[in-house]
Structure 1
Amino acid sequence: MPSRRMIILALFGLVFAFNLTPDAPAKAETLMQCMTKCIQHEGGNDATNKATCKSRCAASTGVGKAAKPRDCMGEFKACKKGQKSSSAVYKACKQKLMSCK
């Protein structure tokens, strides 16, 4: 059975990994690539082609769609439930809850 110290280190690692994961730049890059390819495919950089490409690329990349809100309290309870009740585990779970968006 893993020691308490290893579990705490794993929890802190997960908290930092969730905070460092970039989401927005990848979506913006794919939108830009879609626009570039579409304008080249449509054959010009005029207003009509731009409007067509904006609607196509926004629909295909998911821009403008609202994301489902996270169940932060559920994640907090699951974090506490999976571990023994100690102040270090509670603090790690609480920190994860406070950074949840």
Structure 2
Amino acid sequence: MKTLLTLDNSKLLVLNNSMQIIDSLVLQNQAKNSRSVLSICMELRTELLQKAIKTRQKDKSFVLKLSYHKAEALLVYLRDYEIYFPDEFGSYESNAILQMKNELHRQLI
């Protein structure tokens, strides 16, 4: 089952910025149940950065196809690791994250 997440370059940038903390987290210091989520999100972050490079010149929306386990890990990350998101996140970024969480939650139930 594939989960579809509709993004544009702005939302992709917000998602990549919210996931930048993953680069500095040490998996061994995390709780055992969080390690799998962070591991999947590390893999997803690489894919998202590649997607950002490919679509940086285009100003269209696109659909990101996620497998169930990646979509679930992303939802858990967006929900549970929100405290680590950058301090400069404003209302647009907060709303974009909320929209992504709602869309993922709707498709995963």
* Max Rg structure: 1
Q: TM-score w.r.t. structure 1 length?
A: 0.31
State the TM-score, normalizing by the size of structure 2: 0.30
